[in-house]
Chains A and B, each alone.
Chain A
């Protein structure tokens, strides 16, 4: 009769899919569900219906904050997306000297917590800043000017990444055909470049909008009297313990993001169908004027972005800004602050744990959902859960964790305030991007590998280990880097579940700044940036080395 393993294999495949689905439900689905239930229940546990929603809408502070957030988000997105598009266009469609340097400089803010720029702004234009006159004197920075610049710095690289990918999809042969038919550069731009990047533009706008809408760091440092929703939610939940009101606001933040994501995925699926595998990369021809203008623009913007980062780094070494410009390491002692080096150590631990566990979980989850051919329904559910995380702003996820894991009836309540819960939360928060990266790589793996393996009576887990994993290794290093840097710099989800017992670096920056110790905040931010940069460099090196050792079988 059949060997037992043959019957075991489909059963095991099914179990793994269900296990991964259950894990995602735990770290993402259930916290969200409890957010919903909290928003619609009174504090005594009765069904409140829409009464609480109405009550929130009647609270003047909240409504004001919502308007501020909305105006800020739309404004920043309207500013960031065109500039990021222009930047991406210059990189793809003009001949730039040291193009990759500009690219790295412009993406450098990704290595820092969102409020890094805000701290630099305080140094430059704040009440002690040498340039405060530019902002209209004392306190001029605080409020919209600081918010817009800070959020610009934070969101620009995110938009740039999306738009670079969007413009990379254009087929060089289309431009050759257009030129052959006599279309000028403007016509080529309007008929080929712009339509091709349409989806990326919308996607970038939505991402920037959501990031600004739910950012906590920048408003906390330079928001001044402009009250935004993220701060208001934090006050309601952590300050006043008014969970119900917080839940309603969380829901209000979640629904537009959810809608936007569904819209975006719908567009993405239509876009993919129009891309052919035989597309050739675009080769641009020299045009001196265009190239000079493009270089000037790109250099200026990259230098501003990297410069803001650098100001914070430099300031952290200055004894007493702006009165004593002598250099010192004193701010790195963190004597007067809670956490300090311990917070940094915790963040490092969190980042390493997320990089290892997150990458493993995402890779295996993607293998199960994309490559196994059993349990169709559960696989679809697993895929949807993996995509759901993108639709959930960090702030909302953090709220969900408060409601779910802080609930006295939850047997896992013991995790609350601990490192494990923060690792879970961070992996859940950044799951989708990692998942999409891995599924793209898996999509390029021949779809018949598992079928061949099955015909040879080799179980699927052997094929994952011997074939799929080695092929995907470079991508997995990318994913690990993404998880590490994200875990190192994120504030928005963790701010709700971090406890004084286990402080985190990025969160402690806010605490230090709040306590007026801007120099220590800058020092901690610098530590975070240097660590992220160091690990990025290290992993890029590993990737390069891997690429070299794999070059033989890759045939390049």
Chain B
């Protein structure tokens, strides 16, 4: 099965098929196929060494694939040198030319090279766009990290490329600037409608910014989907663990399609995988604390081990009764009742949120 879910009618902008890249004995990218739609914001997400940067460098033409094919706007660019492709790129290091002013940096790729007036107009337009009006004469060393990244973005967009490549563009910034710039980047991308491919190892960033997320592992694609699909319906244990926090419960299937965990029998909405041992996956915010015991399926009792203040929600660690050695993490929205360590609370494990995966959890 091809790992794409392209809607009919949406134009593909970038198509990769069977891309493979090896470095000696190490396979950085194994037979990867991916289609990027026109105008969408796609995130390549994965741990270091998963091949996401390799994939980006292949698209940029900075590295050569051992096998496979890349098409940009229907044109085969597999053997085309970088300058013959149509993209702008922003690196984690910004890679601004330190000896050139902001204006010269942004105008670096503008054609024709001698048209100063045209350049100045375009530079002013871009600086307004990235929120740095009036910075033309400054040098990169006189700007903060966030401002440098904005200049790098303006430079990448200066030639109005059809494709924007972002290589961990926000990783070098501190948390506040990063969140702010992330939202601006998203808004800017919407407005310009430029097809964007961003590499990141930060799952929160990927989920917040992308139209679709591609989760990668060991040189292949694990899952492609919207942030909600990736978060709520991970197709593999790897995706479930890599994106967000998760609870894992060891369970045994029963003949009637339910599962046994410890001394409890739980109902599941999803079909069970094959095998005698399975693990149940449950997000912390799906662990629901009830005010009182009531008749509902999958309701168990648990002792509160401790709780930690987390701003918008409280992180509560629970020890369910009848499940020896299991600790459940629950995110409880702020503003609810006070939770004290040692008390016993009814906890609901919603059937439609419990996802079964084959194999036991160690």
Contacts and interface: CB of A to CB of B under 8 A. Distances in A.
Interface of A: 2-3, 5-7, 9-10, 373, 446, 448-449, 451-459, 466-467, 470-471, 550, 552-555
Nearest to A449: B95
B155 A452 contact: yes
Contacts of B95: 446, 448-449, 451-452
6 contacts: A448-B95, A456-B109, A456-B158, A470-B99, A550-B99, A552-B142
B131 interface: no
Contact of A2 (B80, B88, B159): B80
A456 to B, nearest CB: 3
B81 A552 contact: no
A159 B93 CA distance: 37
B51 interface: no
A2 B86 CA distance: 11
Contacts of B61: 454
A454 B82 contact: yes
Contact of A471 (B60, B81, B98, B142): B98
A2 B61 CA distance: 15
A410 B134 CA distance: 64
Tell me whether chain A's interface is mostly helix, strand or loop, or mixed.
helix
Interface in B98-152: 98-100, 108-109, 111, 139-142
A500 to B, nearest CB: 48
A451 B139 contact: no
Question: Could you say which of A3, A449, A456 has the most chain B C-beta atoms within 10 Å of its C-beta?
Answer: A456
Given A449-B95, A452-B95, A457 B142 contact: no
Contacts of B81: 6-7, 9-10, 454
Contacts of A446: 93, 95
Contacts of A470: 99
Interface residues of B, number: 32
B87 interface: yes
Contact of B83 (A454, A553, A555): A454
A451 B53 CA distance: 14
B79 to A, nearest CB: 10
A10 B61 CA distance: 12
A7 B61 CA distance: 13
B242 interface: no
B151 to A, nearest CB: 12
5 smallest CB-CB distances across A and B, nearest first, come from A456-B109, A555-B141, A454-B82, A448-B95, A6-B84
Contacts of A449: 95, 97
B155 A456 contact: yes
B62 A451 contact: yes
Nearest to A454: B82
B140 A553 contact: yes
B99 A467 contact: yes
A553 B85 CA distance: 31
A10 B84 CA distance: 11
A459 B83 contact: yes
B339 to A, nearest CB: 43
Contact of A455 (B93, B97, B156): B156
B141 A554 contact: yes
A470 B97 CA distance: 10
Contacts of B99: 467, 470-471, 550, 553
A452 B83 CA distance: 10
Nearest to A467: B97
A76 B108 CA distance: 55
A459 B108 CA distance: 11
Interface string B155-168: 11011010001000
A467 B98 CA distance: 8
Contacts of B100: 466-467, 553
A17 to B, nearest CB: 16
